[in-house]
Amino acid sequence: MTVHDTVHDTTNGAALAQIRRRPADRRRILFTGATLVTMDPGLGVIDRGELLVEGDTITAVGQGLHVDDAADAVVIDCTGTILTPGFVDTHRHAWQAPLRRIMPDVDDLGGYVMSTLAGHATVYRPEDMYVGTRLAALTAIDSGITTMLDFSHNSRSREHSDAAIRALLDTGIRGVHASMGPHFGTWDRQWPGDLTRLKDTYFSSGDQLLTLRLAALATDEIAGPALAYGPGLARIAQDLGIGVSVDAVFGAASSEAVLRWAKDGVLGPDVTLIHSTGLTPEAWTAMGETGTTVALAPTSDAQIGLETAIPAVDEALSAGIRPGLSIDVEVALASDMFTQMRTLHAIQRMRAVNAAYGTDRQPSRITTHDVLDFATLQGARTNGLAAVTGSLTPGKKADLLVIRAEDLNNMPLNDPIGTVVLGSDARNISAVLINGEPRKWNGQVLDVDLTALRREVHASRAYVLNTPSPGSRS
């Protein structure tokens, strides 16, 4: 292939400058020499492969590509790296980011609910929503998450929702804004009616970075019937043409709710049930038969101790559901997808071997390919974006990672999927592209004034922690 531009790698600022000098819709970027972990079942892993991005789209993947009129492509030499799809987070409460690890040893769900949702959440201003959501999204990008579903359940006013959405827009992440009213405290009661305004204002195009979903709870035990999923909220989502994400799906009460939803015809591929721990076999059967999607939160279930405390991957797979993965609450948990993959991989394999111990049964263990599939392609499907992202497939948007495989903690490269899942972390991510736009380059998140961001984060945290919640005032 003949090209006129100098060959660069992602440590070279000149390549980034060349890319950014060109209008976004006229850019052509050719990545060469990488191990391509496509996560496309038909393409698999391609050694010393090439990938062409034109504008915001992957247009060619393979070896020895013969691309017409490639003389104007910026060529990125990716020898010694692995290219993968960006990770997909199916559920994170982004507004909580300034409260990171404030309760790392929380003992149970009730402790989290009373401290965070009944306490800190009630004093949040729109500017606090903006700062927290932006911090979470930038951190996601830094660790290779290119799509993040923000389960924004502190929408106290129209302004709170607007601020959370603006934060997603300003970071350039592929964001899913899942809107829900708050559990506790005073709020404007604008939700769910405000979803129509949000869709008309921010989500009018079908071809954009942001998408909208309705968020709800499984039952009325925590926050009352207004926030609990059922036919009424399902009808609103259907009328708006948006998906639904349902949180706090666990235990006997949620199992009964799942069976009611199946009977009422409000389950299906556009509905995501989050956690899904401690559900009955009957509930799982209903979920599988309706094609309902599932978002697991491996560290949340295990560390906080939700119902059985065991991520329900075996139950999901038995029902024919390949789940997505999620971060959940940064007040107590890690922020990155590498941790979720490793936690799920270790817990499931431990559980499988333990169940077979002392018998002649063979353990049924998931693989590193499975958990990477959950973190990419299945996460995209869970978020309703399977046609858009989740694999390095021609025609999909260019959401991808360049991971250094010859760094100290990764070399020598033997198994690329094992290296991504078990060896890598944020420091190894040299570049992140979202929709064809570089968002991290040479190991640094772009277009962020860290000094200013740090000042805003600390100011927001100080306000939230030093302002008494309404319930604590005399």
Q: What is the pLDDT of residue 72?
A: 85
Rounded alpha-carbon distances, angstroms, from residue 114 to 28, 122, 227, 395, 442: 51, 11, 17, 46, 42
Sorted by sequence, the CB contacts under 8 Å of residue 283 that are 6+ apart come out as 254, 255, 258, 259
Q: What is the pTM of this model?
A: 0.96
DSSP H helical ranges for 214-280: 231-240, 251-264
**Region(s) of the chain under CATH 3.20.20.140:** 87-382
Question: Rounded to whole angstroms, how far apart are CA atoms 38 and 49?
Answer: 10
| Contact (Cβ atoms closer than 8 angstroms) between residue 1 and residue 70 | yes
DSSP string spanning 341-408?
HHHHHHHHHHHHHHHHTTSSPPP----HHHHHHHHTHHHHHHTT-TTTSSS--TTSB--EEEEESSST
Question: Rounded to whole angstroms, how far apart are CA atoms 453 and 327?
Answer: 22
Please give the radius of gyration of the chain, using alpha carbons only, rounded to the nearest integer.
22
**Region(s) of the chain under CATH 2.30.40.10:** 13-85+391-442
Sequential pLDDT tens for the chain (474 residues): 333 344 667 777 889 999 999 999 899 999 999 999 999 999 999 999 999 999 999 999 999 886 654 568 999 999 999 999 999 999 999 999 999 999 999 989 999 999 999 999 999 999 999 999 999 999 999 999 999 999 999 999 999 999 999 999 999 999 999 999 999 999 999 999 999 999 999 998 877 999 999 999 999 988 889 999 999 999 999 999 999 999 999 999 999 999 999 999 999 999 999 999 999 999 999 999 999 999 999 999 999 999 999 999 999 999 999 999 999 999 999 999 999 999 999 999 999 999 999 999 999 999 999 999 999 999 999 999 999 999 999 999 999 999 999 999 999 999 999 999 999 999 999 999 999 999 999 999 999 999 999 999 999 999 999 999 886 543
Question: Rounded to whole angstroms, how far apart are CA atoms 344 and 334?
Answer: 13
For domain 87-382, give the fold: TIM Barrel (3.20.20)
13-85+391-442: CATH superfamily: Urease, subunit C, domain 1 (2.30.40.10)
For residue 72, count other CB atoms closer than 10 A to its CB. Answer: 12
Task: Quote the tokens at residue 469.
Answer: 């919640």
For residue 210, count other CB atoms closer than 10 A to its CB. Answer: 16
Q: What is the pLDDT of residue 285?
A: 98
Q: What is the pLDDT of residue 471?
A: 62
Task: Quote the tokens at residue 370.
Answer: 């499975």
Helix, strand, coil percent content, the chain, rounded in steps of 5:
40, 20, 40
- Predicted confidence (pLDDT) per residue in 240-280, tens digit: 999 999 999 999 999 999 999 999 999 999 999 999 999 99
| Contact (Cβ atoms closer than 8 angstroms) between residue 162 and residue 129 | no
